[in-house]
Amino acid sequence: MYFAAWSHNVISNAVNLSNDLKMGEYLKIPPRVMFLTQVYGTILGGFVNYAVMISIVNGNRELLTNSDGNSAWSGATMQSYNTNATSWALAHYLYKIGGKYEMVPIGLGIGFAIVALHRLIVYFVPKIRGFSLSEINMPQFIQYAGFIPYNQSQTCVIFSQILAGFFTQFYLRNYRPRIFKDYSYLVTGAMDGASLTALFILSFAVFGAGGPSKPFPTWWGNNADGNYDLCPSSE
């Protein structure tokens, strides 16, 4: 349990902080200023997240104990800590060949083989009709393909990410190259900040983080009786 709840989170946060430092380098922010900003945000975020979590748990306790949750709230991540602790304690029995989850270690080998095969193909066939195969980031493709059935209570966020990436990397790069060169990171940062701000407001004003929820009206684009992305719940 301690490994699943603490060690993984420490490594994950370290990777996220490294990503932010790299982003700060691209934006020409002094490393010391960027680091101090990260530390400040991490410490402040701990208190804010704790207060928000208490409010959400008090208002949505039954949903969070349900493995499926609803379109707004899910306790799957917290429940996964206990599941991970149990599964790693029984790893010898669960993940061995012939075990119930033998596909997990086999999947690691499959992922490695796919990336290696892609690299070999790129080496011998670098382009197909002018398209460079090296432009395909196979590890990232596999990672986000795996997010579709795992760790996503709403897979529609992936579609939003694709739209944002298409807008930046295709439209701005090809039709607004000056904006892409000088302001692409600011544009994507603005999108990120705007979406998080909207999510924060919706969580408290609509989804019930600080009181009773207020569902949106039913219309053709809103699946009011289930998940917004129309994905069925497991039984």
How far is it, in rounded angstroms, from Cα 227 to Cα 231? Answer: 6
Q: What would the pLDDT profile of 38-95 be if each residue is shown by its tens digit? A: 889 889 988 988 988 888 888 888 878 776 677 677 777 777 777 777 777 788 888 8
Q: What would the pLDDT profile of 157-183 be if each residue is shown by its tens digit? A: 777 888 888 999 899 999 999 999 888
Q: Report pLDDT for 218.
A: 76
Element (H, E) at 95: none
How far is it, in rounded angstroms, from Cα 158 to Cα 56? Answer: 24
Note the residue count of the chain. Answer: 235
AA letter at 216: F
AA letter at 35: F
Q: How much is the pTM?
A: 0.61
